[in-house]
Chains A and B, each alone.
Chain A
Amino acid sequence: MPEVIVENVHKSFGMVEVLKGVSLTVERGEVIALIGRSGSGKSTLLRCINGLEKINSGRIEIAGHTVSSDPKQLRALRTDVGIVFQSYNLFPHLSVGENIMLAPKIVKNVAKAQTRETAERVLKLVGLSEKFDAYPDELSGGQQQRVAIARSLAMQPKVMLFDEVTSALDPELTEEVLNVMEQLARDGMTMILVTHEMAFARRVATKTIFMHQGKIWEEGLSKQLFSDPQTPELRQFVKADVK
């Protein structure tokens, strides 16, 4: 049974249809890269997968949950699905440690000692053990994004979603975030990432999906897709990136 099933999903913002019947499946442990121009619907698709955007029709299943508009079901889903955003979105009034421990404590009612242990473990994973007591505004963008990843991981998700997580970062900071993600992928996490980092997608993603005008235009094994694009749109997109 696949970890993620997206079936014929349609989504409109007002009169504009941004997803025009998208279907895909993700197996456990797979890493899927969603690429495409801005406005192609890739970020919207990702946000639909964890219910941040309501779909108009179709069906989405993830980690054994069905995406619905019922708040209780959505919360159950989100304990199993983590998401990291482009703008980090750490809680500025809480320290790094508190950012990470908050949700496990109040949502999953994990004992305090254990949330601390988990927080230290995930912080170590992203290479920021020494920042436990720092506040978000004392960290660089790259560090903040790694904390955001750690905060998601502390919920012990089955699937992780990444929404252009390096787009706001300088190149040298991008690298440290990508390294953390690559490590996660190697450890077998199921991941879907919207990204502009073509080299990263090619190297780390098992499959890459090229979205164009609200549809899956082309998909395939990453290496194949990048080296031998079939559609003129993808060919042009890949070429533009090389330049």
Chain B
Amino acid sequence: MILRTFGFSEFGFLVSALLWTVVLTIIALSGGGIVGFFIALARTSTHKWLRIVAATYIQIIQGIPVLMILFLSYYGLSLAGLQLPPLVAAGASMTIYASGYLAEIWRGCIQSVPKQQWEASESLAMTRTQQYRYVILPQALRISLPSTVGFAVQVVKNTSITSIIGFVELARAGQLINNATFQPFRVFIAVAALYFVVCYPLSQLSRWLERRLHARSHR
């Protein structure tokens, strides 16, 4: 067997795999964002049973490893006769994972809008939907930006777990190249560097948003 060396084309392969990491992150954040948004609303609802259902969902998702969600949707469902392609299984699992955390982050943001804002808008005869739409959510959104972007960094890194079911994203691509070149240091430093290139600007963005939020609230 002839070993390849880690060169330009191998690096190109990693970069194209990085694209799948980014795609998976976008799926997770948009899917998880939509589901998480409604869970967050349910969590702050005035209906007791809605709150309980939402809280249970969040507790379950946060209480089990992403890996289990991934195994359940990939192997579990295939046993039930539903053979999901890796991208779908990975996308669905990461969506579920992200929804549980985003729901909890956003619940905190909604609840950190002072209760006087609810009273003032209620006293102006707004419906609950109008209160959310025009008064509470715009303020919660601003509060949520730093922590949401911060969470996106976690999602980018955690997509690496989907390599286990054979989805070729950055981590999996690194393994493949390493198997062919057996130059683990070079390969995985390149992989790590690529993760860093995506995550570092996001972290900085999150910190910048955080500072801006603070500056605003103390103006």
A-side residues, CB < 8 A to B, are: 50, 52, 71, 75-76, 78-79, 82-83, 85, 87, 89-93, 102-103, 106-107, 137, 151-152, 155
Given A93-B139, A106-B134, A137-B219, A155 and B116 contact (CB-CB distance below 8 Å): no
A92 to B135, CA, bound (A): 9
Instruction: Kindly report which residue of chain A lies nearest to residue B115, judged by CB atoms.
Output: A89
| B139 pairs with A92, CB closer than 8 A | yes
| B125 pairs with A79, CB closer than 8 A | yes
Q: Which of A85, A90, A93, A107 is within 8 Å of B125, CB to CB?
A: A107
- Which residues of A sit under 8 angstroms from B139, Cβ to Cβ? 91-93
| B120 pairs with A106, CB closer than 8 A | no
Given A93-B139, A137-B219, A75 and B127 contact (CB-CB distance below 8 Å): yes
Instruction: Kindly report which residue of chain A lies nearest to residue B116, judged by CB atoms.
Output: A89
A151 to B135, CA, bound (A): 14
Given A93-B142, A106-B126, A155-B125, A85 and B119 contact (CB-CB distance below 8 Å): yes
What are 26 sample pairs from A and B whose C-beta atoms fall under 8 A apart? A50-B123, A52-B119, A52-B123, A71-B127, A75-B125, A75-B126, A76-B125, A78-B123, A82-B123, A85-B119, A85-B120, A89-B116, A89-B120, A90-B120, A91-B134, A91-B135, A92-B139, A93-B138, A93-B139, A102-B134, A103-B121, A103-B126, A106-B130, A106-B134, A107-B130, A155-B125
Q: A85-B120, A103-B126, A155-B125 are in contact. List 12 more A-B contacts (CB 8 A).
A: A52-B122, A71-B127, A78-B125, A89-B120, A91-B120, A91-B139, A106-B130, A107-B124, A107-B130, A137-B216, A137-B219, A151-B124
B-side residues, CB < 8 A to A, are: 116-117, 119-128, 130, 134-135, 138-139, 142, 216, 219
A152 to B122, CA, bound (A): 12
A76 to B124, CA, bound (A): 10
| B116 pairs with A85, CB closer than 8 A | yes
Q: Which of A52, A137, A155 is within 8 Å of B124, CB to CB?
A: A155
A15 to B86, CA, bound (A): 59
A152 to B119, CA, bound (A): 13
Instruction: Kindly report which residue of chain A lies nearest to residue B139, judged by CB atoms.
Output: A93
Q: Choose among B125, B128, B139 the residue with the greatest number of A CB atoms under 10 Å from its CB.
A: B125
- Which residues of B sit under 8 angstroms from A102, Cβ to Cβ? 124, 134
| A89 pairs with B119, CB closer than 8 A | yes
A151 to B216, CA, bound (A): 23
- Which residues of B sit under 8 angstroms from A78, Cβ to Cβ? 122-125
- Which residues of B sit under 8 angstroms from A79, Cβ to Cβ? 125
- Which residues of A sit under 8 angstroms from B130, Cβ to Cβ? 106-107
